[in-house]
């Protein structure tokens, strides 16, 4: 196989350029999306309806306005949760393992080894 040099270049010149529409979509940063979501969440019902009905509105604005409108009209908290999860992020779930740890501390070494062996056996059976 020949080495690449200034004169000996591969026929395939690497990645193809992104199409214009995908390039434009890449410009939608998290901060821009947050700005759009905030803007639409503070609109009145009439303002949202205008955005949805105006064919000159950008599709992202129409989509956001539509989601918010349907969430309010239908009492659909899933739609509003979708928007808020994108805006502020999903809430972190905390798991309290205190009771589990207390139980583990009361176990003997033999019990812990036996539990581990049972877990390995279970996992091996799951693979089959």
Does residue 7 lie within any of the structural domains? no
pLDDT in tens, the chain (128 residues): 677 788 887 777 677 776 776 666 667 777 888 888 889 989 999 999 999 999 999 988 998 899 889 888 888 888 878 777 877 777 777 888 888 788 888 888 898 888 889 989 888 888 77
Residue 118 sits in the same domain as residue 77: no
- 74 within domain boundaries: yes
**Alpha-carbon gap, residue 17 to 10, rounded angstroms:** 17
pTM: 0.51
Report d(CA 48, CA 57) in Å as an integer.
11
* CA 50 – CA 44 distance, rounded (Å): 10
Residue 45: exposure state from Cβ atoms within 10 A (0-12, 13-18, ≥19): exposed
One domain for residues 29 and 83:
yes
Largest CA distance in the chain: 73
Count of beta carbons in the 10 Å neighbourhood of residue 68: 21
Cβ atoms of residues 8 and 2 within 8 Å? yes
Residue numbers of the domain that contains 116:
98-127
In a domain, 72, yes or no: yes
Indicate if 109 and 82 belong to the same structural domain: no
């Amino acid at each position: 196989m020949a080495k690449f040099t200034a004169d000996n270049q591969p026929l395939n010149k690497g990645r193809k350029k992104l199409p214009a529409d995908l390039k434009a979509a890449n410009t939608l940063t998290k901060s821009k999306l947050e700005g759009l979501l905030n803007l639409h969440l503070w609109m009145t019902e009439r303002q949202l309806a205008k955005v949805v009905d105006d064919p000159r509105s950008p599709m992202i604005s129409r989509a956001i306005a539509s989601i918010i409108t349907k969430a309010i009209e239908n009492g659909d908290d899933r739609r509003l949760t979708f928007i808020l999860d994108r805006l502020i992020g999903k809430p972190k779930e905390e798991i309290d393992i205190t009771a589990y740890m207390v139980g583990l501390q009361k176990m003997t070494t033999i019990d812990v080894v036996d539990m581990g062996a049972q877990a390995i056996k279970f996992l091996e059976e799951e693979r089959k």
